[in-house]
Structure 1
Amino acid sequence: MQRYLAVLTILLLLGMVCVRLLLMQRSGIKAMKFGEIDKKDFLIPPFALFYFYLIFAAAFHLPTVSRQQFFESRIASWIGVLLCLAGLMLLLLSLISFGQSFRVGIDPDQPDKLITTGVFAFIRNPIYVAFGLVLLGQFLVFPSWIFLVYLFAGIWLFHRQVAREEEFLRMRYGEIYEEYCDRVRRYL
Protein backbone atom coordinates (compact mmCIF):
# COMPACT_ATOMS: atom_id res chain seq x y z
CA MET A 1 0.00 0.00 0.00
CA GLN A 2 2.77 2.47 0.95
CA ARG A 3 4.52 1.87 -2.38
CA TYR A 4 1.39 2.77 -4.34
CA LEU A 5 0.92 5.89 -2.23
CA ALA A 6 4.53 6.84 -3.02
CA VAL A 7 3.75 6.53 -6.75
CA LEU A 8 0.58 8.56 -6.27
CA THR A 9 2.65 11.24 -4.55
CA ILE A 10 4.88 11.61 -7.60
CA LEU A 11 1.89 11.76 -9.93
CA LEU A 12 0.16 14.39 -7.80
CA LEU A 13 3.34 16.44 -7.43
CA LEU A 14 3.93 16.48 -11.19
CA GLY A 15 0.25 17.08 -11.81
CA MET A 16 0.07 20.11 -9.53
CA VAL A 17 3.09 21.75 -11.13
CA CYS A 18 1.98 20.97 -14.71
CA VAL A 19 -1.58 22.20 -14.10
CA ARG A 20 -0.24 25.44 -12.61
CA LEU A 21 2.08 25.92 -15.60
CA LEU A 22 -0.81 25.34 -18.03
CA LEU A 23 -3.12 27.71 -16.17
CA MET A 24 -0.48 30.41 -16.20
CA GLN A 25 0.18 29.83 -19.89
CA ARG A 26 -3.53 30.33 -20.56
CA SER A 27 -3.26 33.64 -18.68
CA GLY A 28 -0.46 34.67 -21.04
CA ILE A 29 2.36 34.11 -18.53
CA LYS A 30 5.35 31.98 -19.52
CA ALA A 31 6.11 30.40 -16.15
CA MET A 32 8.57 27.75 -17.38
CA LYS A 33 11.96 29.46 -17.20
CA PHE A 34 13.99 26.43 -16.13
CA GLY A 35 17.39 26.19 -17.81
CA GLU A 36 17.27 29.60 -19.47
CA ILE A 37 19.96 31.13 -17.26
CA ASP A 38 22.24 28.14 -16.65
CA LYS A 39 22.37 25.85 -19.66
CA LYS A 40 23.91 23.05 -17.55
CA ASP A 41 20.44 22.54 -16.07
CA PHE A 42 19.56 20.50 -19.16
CA LEU A 43 21.29 17.61 -17.37
CA ILE A 44 18.64 17.51 -14.63
CA PRO A 45 15.52 16.32 -16.54
CA PRO A 46 17.00 12.95 -17.64
CA PHE A 47 17.95 12.18 -14.04
CA ALA A 48 14.49 13.28 -12.86
CA LEU A 49 12.80 11.05 -15.44
CA PHE A 50 14.99 8.14 -14.35
CA TYR A 51 13.98 8.84 -10.73
CA PHE A 52 10.30 8.68 -11.70
CA TYR A 53 10.95 5.37 -13.46
CA LEU A 54 12.73 4.03 -10.36
CA ILE A 55 9.69 4.87 -8.21
CA PHE A 56 7.39 3.02 -10.60
CA ALA A 57 9.86 0.13 -10.92
CA ALA A 58 10.13 -0.26 -7.15
CA ALA A 59 6.37 -0.11 -6.66
CA PHE A 60 5.35 -2.36 -9.55
CA HIS A 61 8.34 -4.74 -9.60
CA LEU A 62 9.68 -3.59 -12.96
CA PRO A 63 13.34 -4.02 -13.91
CA THR A 64 15.51 -1.70 -11.86
CA VAL A 65 19.09 -0.96 -10.89
CA SER A 66 18.97 -2.68 -7.50
CA ARG A 67 16.43 -4.23 -5.15
CA GLN A 68 18.79 -4.23 -2.18
CA GLN A 69 17.34 -2.31 0.77
CA PHE A 70 18.99 -0.85 3.85
CA PHE A 71 16.13 -1.94 6.11
CA GLU A 72 12.57 -3.27 6.05
CA SER A 73 10.22 -1.35 8.32
CA ARG A 74 6.48 -0.79 7.98
CA ILE A 75 6.69 2.06 10.48
CA ALA A 76 9.44 3.83 8.52
CA SER A 77 7.49 3.24 5.33
CA TRP A 78 4.32 4.81 6.78
CA ILE A 79 6.38 7.73 8.11
CA GLY A 80 7.65 8.09 4.55
CA VAL A 81 4.07 8.24 3.26
CA LEU A 82 3.24 10.91 5.84
CA LEU A 83 6.29 12.94 4.78
CA CYS A 84 5.20 12.63 1.15
CA LEU A 85 1.71 13.86 2.07
CA ALA A 86 3.19 16.73 4.09
CA GLY A 87 5.33 17.63 1.07
CA LEU A 88 2.28 17.61 -1.20
CA MET A 89 0.33 19.83 1.19
CA LEU A 90 3.23 22.27 1.47
CA LEU A 91 3.55 22.35 -2.32
CA LEU A 92 -0.17 23.05 -2.68
CA LEU A 93 -0.01 25.86 -0.11
CA SER A 94 3.05 27.26 -1.91
CA LEU A 95 1.33 27.27 -5.28
CA ILE A 96 -1.70 29.00 -3.78
CA SER A 97 0.48 31.58 -1.99
CA PHE A 98 2.51 32.26 -5.13
CA GLY A 99 -0.51 33.30 -7.16
CA GLN A 100 0.57 34.71 -10.54
CA SER A 101 4.21 35.03 -9.38
CA PHE A 102 4.91 31.30 -9.75
CA ARG A 103 7.83 30.46 -12.04
CA VAL A 104 9.91 27.35 -12.64
CA GLY A 105 13.37 28.90 -12.70
CA ILE A 106 14.40 32.55 -12.55
CA ASP A 107 12.46 35.07 -14.64
CA PRO A 108 14.62 38.20 -15.01
CA ASP A 109 12.27 39.68 -17.63
CA GLN A 110 8.99 39.64 -15.68
CA PRO A 111 9.87 38.78 -12.07
CA ASP A 112 6.51 39.98 -10.63
CA LYS A 113 6.20 40.97 -6.97
CA LEU A 114 8.02 39.51 -3.96
CA ILE A 115 5.72 37.08 -2.16
CA THR A 116 6.02 37.22 1.64
CA THR A 117 2.53 36.14 2.66
CA GLY A 118 0.79 32.79 3.04
CA VAL A 119 3.24 29.95 3.57
CA PHE A 120 6.06 32.33 2.53
CA ALA A 121 5.55 34.16 5.83
CA PHE A 122 7.01 31.09 7.56
CA ILE A 123 9.45 29.58 5.01
CA ARG A 124 11.27 31.48 2.23
CA ASN A 125 11.56 28.39 0.01
CA PRO A 126 8.54 26.19 0.74
CA ILE A 127 8.52 24.50 -2.67
CA TYR A 128 12.06 23.20 -2.18
CA VAL A 129 11.20 22.10 1.36
CA ALA A 130 8.16 20.29 -0.09
CA PHE A 131 10.31 18.52 -2.68
CA GLY A 132 12.82 17.61 0.04
CA LEU A 133 10.06 16.12 2.21
CA VAL A 134 8.85 14.06 -0.74
CA LEU A 135 12.38 12.81 -1.50
CA LEU A 136 12.92 11.87 2.15
CA GLY A 137 9.52 10.17 2.26
CA GLN A 138 10.27 8.26 -0.93
CA PHE A 139 13.55 7.06 0.56
CA LEU A 140 11.75 5.78 3.67
CA VAL A 141 9.26 3.91 1.48
CA PHE A 142 12.02 2.57 -0.82
CA PRO A 143 15.13 2.46 1.43
CA SER A 144 17.78 1.62 -1.15
CA TRP A 145 21.11 3.17 -1.97
CA ILE A 146 19.86 4.70 -5.23
CA PHE A 147 17.07 6.61 -3.47
CA LEU A 148 19.58 7.74 -0.85
CA VAL A 149 21.82 9.08 -3.62
CA TYR A 150 18.84 10.88 -5.16
CA LEU A 151 17.92 12.32 -1.76
CA PHE A 152 21.37 13.84 -1.26
CA ALA A 153 21.68 14.95 -4.89
CA GLY A 154 18.23 16.52 -4.75
CA ILE A 155 19.02 18.42 -1.56
CA TRP A 156 22.26 19.67 -3.10
CA LEU A 157 20.46 20.76 -6.30
CA PHE A 158 17.68 22.49 -4.36
CA HIS A 159 20.21 24.38 -2.27
CA ARG A 160 22.14 25.35 -5.42
CA GLN A 161 18.95 26.73 -6.98
CA VAL A 162 17.96 28.54 -3.79
CA ALA A 163 21.36 30.29 -3.75
CA ARG A 164 20.83 31.40 -7.36
CA GLU A 165 17.33 32.64 -6.67
CA GLU A 166 18.37 34.48 -3.52
CA GLU A 167 21.15 36.25 -5.41
CA PHE A 168 18.61 37.36 -8.02
CA LEU A 169 16.07 38.43 -5.38
CA ARG A 170 18.71 40.47 -3.53
CA MET A 171 19.59 42.30 -6.74
CA ARG A 172 15.93 42.78 -7.73
CA TYR A 173 14.33 43.74 -4.39
CA GLY A 174 17.33 44.96 -2.36
CA GLU A 175 16.60 46.00 1.21
CA ILE A 176 13.02 44.70 1.15
CA TYR A 177 14.33 41.22 0.48
CA GLU A 178 17.06 41.56 3.13
CA GLU A 179 14.43 42.49 5.73
CA TYR A 180 12.36 39.49 4.64
CA CYS A 181 15.42 37.24 5.05
CA ASP A 182 15.94 38.58 8.57
CA ARG A 183 12.34 37.70 9.50
CA VAL A 184 11.86 34.35 7.76
CA ARG A 185 14.12 31.28 7.64
CA ARG A 186 15.43 29.90 4.38
CA TYR A 187 14.11 26.37 4.94
CA LEU A 188 12.64 25.35 8.31
Structure 2
Amino acid sequence: MTRYIAVATLFLLVILVLSRAFQLKKMGIKAIRFGEMDKKDFLIPPPNWIILIYIFTGTWLVNRQILLEEQSLKKIYGEKYMEYCNKVRRFL
Protein backbone atom coordinates (compact mmCIF):
# COMPACT_ATOMS: atom_id res chain seq x y z
CA MET A 1 0.00 0.00 0.00
CA THR A 2 2.77 2.45 0.87
CA ARG A 3 4.41 1.86 -2.50
CA TYR A 4 1.20 2.90 -4.25
CA ILE A 5 1.03 6.07 -2.17
CA ALA A 6 4.68 6.85 -2.91
CA VAL A 7 4.22 6.30 -6.64
CA ALA A 8 1.05 8.40 -6.65
CA THR A 9 2.81 11.19 -4.77
CA LEU A 10 5.74 11.26 -7.18
CA PHE A 11 3.39 11.12 -10.15
CA LEU A 12 1.32 14.03 -8.84
CA LEU A 13 4.47 16.04 -8.13
CA VAL A 14 5.70 15.56 -11.70
CA ILE A 15 2.25 16.51 -13.04
CA LEU A 16 2.22 19.67 -10.91
CA VAL A 17 5.67 20.77 -12.05
CA LEU A 18 4.92 20.06 -15.70
CA SER A 19 1.57 21.84 -15.57
CA ARG A 20 3.27 24.89 -14.03
CA ALA A 21 5.95 24.80 -16.73
CA PHE A 22 3.24 24.74 -19.42
CA GLN A 23 1.46 27.66 -17.74
CA LEU A 24 4.70 29.63 -17.77
CA LYS A 25 5.23 28.74 -21.43
CA LYS A 26 1.77 30.12 -22.28
CA MET A 27 2.73 33.38 -20.55
CA GLY A 28 5.93 33.58 -22.59
CA ILE A 29 8.28 32.65 -19.77
CA LYS A 30 10.66 29.80 -20.53
CA ALA A 31 11.16 27.56 -17.53
CA ILE A 32 14.11 25.24 -16.99
CA ARG A 33 16.73 27.38 -18.73
CA PHE A 34 19.55 27.19 -16.28
CA GLY A 35 22.69 29.26 -16.67
CA GLU A 36 21.09 32.53 -17.70
CA MET A 37 20.80 35.29 -15.14
CA ASP A 38 17.41 36.63 -16.22
CA LYS A 39 15.10 36.86 -13.20
CA LYS A 40 12.04 35.54 -15.05
CA ASP A 41 13.65 32.21 -16.03
CA PHE A 42 13.38 29.71 -13.21
CA LEU A 43 11.79 26.43 -12.25
CA ILE A 44 8.87 26.91 -9.88
CA PRO A 45 8.29 24.14 -7.34
CA PRO A 46 4.72 23.27 -6.39
CA PRO A 47 3.02 25.63 -3.94
CA ASN A 48 3.78 25.22 -0.26
CA TRP A 49 0.20 24.36 0.68
CA ILE A 50 0.38 21.12 -1.28
CA ILE A 51 3.44 20.04 0.67
CA LEU A 52 1.71 20.98 3.92
CA ILE A 53 -1.33 18.90 2.97
CA TYR A 54 0.94 15.90 2.37
CA ILE A 55 2.68 16.40 5.72
CA PHE A 56 -0.55 16.78 7.69
CA THR A 57 -2.22 13.86 5.90
CA GLY A 58 0.80 11.61 6.45
CA THR A 59 0.99 12.53 10.12
CA TRP A 60 -2.73 11.90 10.57
CA LEU A 61 -2.54 8.52 8.81
CA VAL A 62 0.43 7.35 10.90
CA ASN A 63 -1.27 8.46 14.13
CA ARG A 64 -4.52 6.73 13.12
CA GLN A 65 -2.64 3.51 12.36
CA ILE A 66 -0.87 3.63 15.74
CA LEU A 67 -4.17 4.10 17.59
CA LEU A 68 -5.75 1.17 15.74
CA GLU A 69 -2.78 -1.06 16.53
CA GLU A 70 -2.87 -0.05 20.19
CA GLN A 71 -6.55 -1.00 20.43
CA SER A 72 -5.91 -4.43 18.96
CA LEU A 73 -2.88 -5.00 21.22
CA LYS A 74 -4.99 -4.11 24.27
CA LYS A 75 -7.54 -6.74 23.23
CA ILE A 76 -4.89 -9.39 22.56
CA TYR A 77 -2.48 -8.88 25.49
CA GLY A 78 -4.63 -7.05 28.03
CA GLU A 79 -2.91 -6.13 31.30
CA LYS A 80 0.61 -7.03 30.12
CA TYR A 81 0.33 -4.53 27.30
CA MET A 82 -0.91 -1.84 29.69
CA GLU A 83 2.16 -2.42 31.90
CA TYR A 84 4.36 -2.13 28.83
CA CYS A 85 2.64 1.14 27.85
CA ASN A 86 3.42 2.57 31.29
CA LYS A 87 7.14 1.77 30.81
CA VAL A 88 7.63 3.21 27.32
CA ARG A 89 6.57 6.32 25.42
CA ARG A 90 4.34 6.18 22.36
CA PHE A 91 6.58 8.27 20.11
CA LEU A 92 10.35 8.63 20.20
TM range (shorter): 0.5 to 0.7
Structure (1 or 2) with the larger CA radius of gyration: 2
* 1:67 counterpart = 2:45: yes
RMSD (Å), alpha carbons: 3.2
Contact 2:17–2:45 (CA under 8 A) maintained in structure 1? no
Q: Select which of 59, 65, 85 maps to 1:161.
A: 65
Please list every run of 5 or more consecutive structure 1 residues that lacks an aligned counterpart in the other structure: 1-33, 35-43, 70-143
Q: 1:52 — aligned with what?
A: 10
Higher relative contact order structure (alpha carbons within 8 Å, sequence separation ≥ 6): 1
Q: Which residue does 1:182 correspond to in 2?
A: 86
1:117 aligns with none
Q: Which amino acid aligns with 1:148?
A: L
Partners of 2:59 and 2:85 in 1: CA distance: 20
Deviation at 1:49, TM superposition (A): 2.9
Q: State, as a whole percentage, how many aligned pairs show the same letter.
A: 38
Question: How many residues were matched structurally?
Answer: 69
The unaligned stretches of length 5 or more in structure 2 are: 21-43
Q: Which runs of 4+ in 1 moved over 6 A?
A: none
